[in-house]
Amino acid sequence: MTADGWTVARTLVHDPVVVDLLRRYFTDVASSFYGRPATDAEVTAALAEDPSDDLVPPGGAFFVAHYQDIPAGCVGLRFGAAGFAELTRMFVTPEARGRGGSAVLLAVAERHAKLGEAHTMRLETRLDLVAARRLYTKHGYRPIPAYSTGPFAECWYAKDLR
């Protein structure tokens, strides 16, 4: 998909560009959680504790967004039971924020979920990720009861894709 300077392509999670983006993603969310810059050791531990290896076919997918040919964002998708897909690893680099990349990534993930016959997209996030929660509600996601547990799952959202 191409839109407003953005190009998004499905990419394998072990691609060096993905590895870098995921490290940047975990650094960003861990730093927000800790209220200080996350250390390399903390990021490495987070990557090991919450791997992205399942974001591959047939149960998942991973997409990388380039803004003006520079890797600038990513999003993952997991297919679950009963027509659900889960959005994960949604990230736009700080340098590319404010240019519409999140909306582009969200649209790509939703379209791919529909192609995989998902009727509902859901996600979990944290209370402190205010901009992310604002983005999701702006695009039709509504709060739902918790469907998962974990130390970083504080808010749950879903959107009907039909």
User: Per-residue pLDDT tens for 33-90?
Assistant: 889 999 999 999 999 999 999 999 999 999 999 999 999 999 999 998 889 999 999 9
Tokens of 102: 């999140």
- Flag whether pLDDT at 151 surpasses 90: no
pTM of the model: 0.93
- Flag whether pLDDT at 131 surpasses 70: yes
Segment 9-42, tens digit of pLDDT:
999 999 999 999 999 999 998 898 889 999 999 9
Could you tell me which of 37, 154, 28 has the C-alpha nearest to residue 93? 28
